[in-house]
Amino acid sequence: MAAPSSHALPADLVGLRETTRRFVREVLLPAEPRPGDELAEEDRLALQAQARDAGVFAPHAPREHGGLGVPLQHWSPIFQEAGYSPIGPSVLNCMAPDEGNMHMLAQVATPAQQEQFLRPLVRGEVRSCFGMTEPHPGAGSDPGALRTTARKVDDGWVISGEKRFTSGALVAAYCIVMARTEATGEHPAGATMFLVPMDTPGMRVGAPIHTVDRYIAGGHPHLHLEDVHVGDDAVLGAPGEGFRYAQVRLGPARLTHCMRWLGLARRALDTALDRAEARELFGAPLHSLGLAQGLISDSVIDVETSDAIITKTAHLLVDDPRAGSAMSSVAKVHCSEAIFRVIDRAIQLCGGDGVSDGLPLAQYLNEVRPFRIYDGSTETHQWAIARRASSARRREVEQGAPALGSPAYPRSDSNRH
């Protein structure tokens, strides 16, 4: 189907989108591993070198740290082009969790931390992970349940706890660890982020968690922190402010998941459209049958509404970060559910081949299914969305807006029939 809209992109970024589109289709599609297989590390590095040469590497990262410096409000068309191939985001170095960590480090880290941790990440020399989620009853959908602790000592901090679903930990050079800290001096009690190299004594990657998705390198294992000692220079931002800094990362990171997976949904729909064009059923082309047309049109609607809400949210994140963070919940729910539907319909249109490894659609479904849980489940976000809507409406009524829910709401006689 049609490419992501570029009508609002500056001219130079229209060119970058077109270059990314060509690179993905001409270089990456022929290089994709079989469905369910991982891209070999030597192949990834070779393809990344080609991406650098093509000028499409790390599009989102700041120029001063080695990226292309695309502003956040213009990421979506380029990320969607990268996501058209399941290996595209990794090759272009805009894949989770590294992409979200780059964005946060660019906003929060000190110059020395950026030199040590951000620049090598942007250049693709290392990978990273983010340690937030914990085994029950620790932090998951409720970050306030954080149980990992860091206690202040004379020469730094000692971190103890366990994380799970630490995406990318098996290949990461360092982890951004969220831990609960007590008040220290002028800093309040709360959560604190720490930059911890994976080879720090006491850091141990634990049991793997086998999930249906395959394209985030490094798996989703447990991570054990057993009296991990770090210096004061390991603190990212200020002690006690970790939850606030997390919002710098989480809002855009939710949205970039939507962008990448929407690119894959476009790929699935194109696959289904090509099959519907070539396949005849009951003496007629599949695309001319009403039931098939219903599936196709519903998928086009899901793709276009997802594209629109991503664009709105991206601009809000720049212009009004608080509103943008709230809207990212709406975008995450809509897109995760819509993208799943698009790929599921594509499988249905392709019939038996859709559920075989002759086509990659079943693996695509495996990749996007966890997105309805990762970064906050659909239901958790719906809870937050409903609470915000109710609170906003209460404030409007308290400030004088008419309360419309009562049968006694006054109407003029002229409106009565």
Q: Could you tell me if 354 and 345 are in contact, meaning their C-beta atoms sit under 8 angstroms apart?
A: no
Mean pLDDT of 108-117: 98
pLDDT at 6 over 90: no
The domain made up of 244-396 has a fold known as Butyryl-CoA Dehydrogenase, subunit A; domain 3 (1.20.140)
Would strands 284-285 and 280-281 be described as parallel, antiparallel, or unpaired? Answer: antiparallel
Q: Could you tell me if 338 and 302 are in contact, meaning their C-beta atoms sit under 8 angstroms apart?
A: yes
Q: Could you tell me if 137 and 278 are in contact, meaning their C-beta atoms sit under 8 angstroms apart?
A: no
Give the model's confidence band at 286: pLDDT under 50 very low, under 70 low, under 90 confident, else very high: confident
Mean pLDDT of 330-337: 98
Q: Residue 30: in which H helix or E strand, if any? A: helix 29-31
Sequence-ordered list of residues with C-beta below 8 angstroms from that of 346, at least 6 positions apart, any chain: 268, 269, 271, 272, 299, 354, 361
Tens of pLDDT, residues 163-179: 999 999 999 999 999 99
Percent of the chain with pLDDT over 90: 85
Residue 412 pLDDT: 57
pLDDT at 284 over 60: yes
pLDDT at 130 over 90: yes
Neighbouring C-beta atoms of residue 231, cutoff 10 Å: 10
- Written as six digits, the tokens of 388 are 């915000």
Tens of pLDDT, residues 202-233: 999 999 999 999 888 899 999 999 999 999 99
CATH homologous superfamily of 11-122: Acyl-CoA dehydrogenase/oxidase, N-terminal domain (1.10.540.10)
Residue 285 pLDDT: 85
Residue 410 pLDDT: 58
- Written as six digits, the tokens of 87 are 């290996």
**Average pLDDT over the chain, rounded to an integer:** 94
Look at 366 and 1; give whichever has higher pLDDT. Answer: 366
185 exposure class (CB count in 10 Å sphere: 0-12, 13-18, 19+): exposed
Listed as own residue / partner, the contacts of 120-125 with beta carbons closer than 8 Å and 24 or more positions apart are 120/173, 122/58, 122/61, 122/62, 122/65, 122/66, 122/67, 122/93, 123/58, 123/66, 124/48, 124/57, 124/58, 124/93
**Cis ω before 321 (30° cut-off from 0):** no
Would strands 156-163 and 128-131 be described as parallel, antiparallel, or unpaired? Answer: unpaired
Q: Do 11-122 and 244-396 have matching folds?
A: no
Helices (H), 279-320: 290-319
Tell me if the domain spanning 128-240 has CATH number 2.40.110.10.
yes
Mean pLDDT of 340-356: 97
pLDDT at 404 over 70: yes
Q: Which of 70, 78, 180, 58 is nearest to 122 (CA)?
A: 58
- Written as six digits, the tokens of 90 are 């990794």
pTM confidence score? 0.93
Give the model's confidence band at 405: pLDDT under 50 very low, under 70 low, under 90 confident, else very high: confident
Neighbouring C-beta atoms of residue 256, cutoff 10 Å: 25
d(CA 6, CA 58): 19
Q: Which of 331, 339, 336, 361 is nearest to 348 (CA)?
A: 361
Count Cα atoms within 13 angstroms, Cβ side, for 369.
11
Would strands 284-285 and 203-205 be described as parallel, antiparallel, or unpaired? Answer: unpaired
Look at 416 and 343; give whichever has higher pLDDT. Answer: 343
Helix (H, G, I), strand (E, B) or coil at 71: coil
Q: What does the DSSP assignment read for 168-223?
A: TGGG-SEEEEEEEE--BTTBPSEEEEEEEETTSTTEEE------S---STT----E
Q: Could you tell me if 122 and 271 are in contact, meaning their C-beta atoms sit under 8 angstroms apart?
A: no
Q: Which of 33-42, 153-162, 238-247 has the highest mean pLDDT?
A: 153-162
Q: Which of 415, 405, 397, 336 is nearest to 371 (CA)?
A: 336
- Written as six digits, the tokens of 174 are 């360092």
Look at 410 and 125; give whichever has higher pLDDT. Answer: 125
Residue 143 pLDDT: 81
Q: Domain boundaries in the chain?
A: 11-122, 128-240, 244-396
**Cis ω before 137 (30° cut-off from 0):** yes
